[in-house]
Amino acid sequence: MNTELNTNSIALIALCNEYCQTVEHASESERDDFIASMLRLLPRLYISAADLQIDPSLEDEMFYIDQALDEDYYNTVRSNVAALMEPDDIYLEVFEEDMKYSDTPIAASISEGIADIFQVLYNFIETIKDAPTDLIKEALTALREDFDNYWSQTLCNLLRPLNHIKHNV
């Protein structure tokens, strides 16, 4: 196994860290600045995660990232973002699985989506702190699987309402 991280892996790790720091400091941010940061970070996270090359020797393995974020901290982060986004925190979501079976619109929350992505990336960053390269590669594999199965859709869903707020409110 190659013991070095490629440039894209290093860039993704840096973006994950920057996202987490930005979200953690949301309560100290101006609303417009926070929205601009999210609109700058989210597309870059998407591209870096989508372009992440998994080590071929790890492709058939299942890896998990341990939970490091506790519920209280998650709720604090979500509440801070919700307070910043008010009154625009809630938006109508069309890509919700339940929408197929519903005659009524499904509401989603920007703050919850941001906190959900924060949780994944925070857990990832905590897992790789001081970890050897082989464990970082395993964590990157798990992060990529989580991206494919879960948080890529959440990320895309957040861009539409954030873009709307920035350009139409």
Q: What is the pLDDT along the chain (169 residues), one digit of tens a residue?
A: 456 899 999 999 999 999 999 999 999 999 999 999 999 999 999 999 999 988 777 776 778 788 999 999 999 999 999 999 999 999 987 765 555 566 666 788 999 999 999 999 999 999 999 999 999 999 999 999 999 999 999 999 999 999 999 998 6
Instruction: Report how far apart, in Å, the C-alpha atoms of 31 and of each of 44, 87, 113 are.
Output: 20, 11, 16
Residue 70 lies in a domain: yes
Query: What is the model's pLDDT at position 95?
Result: 60
Residue 1 lies in a domain: no
CATH code, domain with 76: 1.20.120.1550
One-letter amino acid identity for 162? L
Query: What is the model's pLDDT at position 96?
Result: 55
Query: What is the model's pLDDT at position 97?
Result: 57
Query: What is the model's pLDDT at position 100?
Result: 55
Give the domain range for residue 110.
Answer: 7-168
> What DSSP letter does each residue of 124-158 carry, written as one string?
HHHHHTT--HHHHHHHHHHHHHHIIIIIHHHHHHH
Assess contact for 65 and 124: CB atoms under 8 A: yes
CA–CA gap between residue 158 and residue 30 (Å, rounded): 18
Residue 42 lies in a domain: yes
Assess contact for 160 and 35: CB atoms under 8 A: no
Residue 28 lies in a domain: yes
Residue 2 lies in a domain: no
pTM confidence score: 0.90
Assess contact for 12 and 49: CB atoms under 8 A: yes
Work out how many domains the chain is built from and give that number. Answer: 1
Query: What is the model's pLDDT at position 36?
Result: 97
Outline where DSSP puts E strands in the chain: 90-93, 106-109
Residue 155 lies in a domain: yes
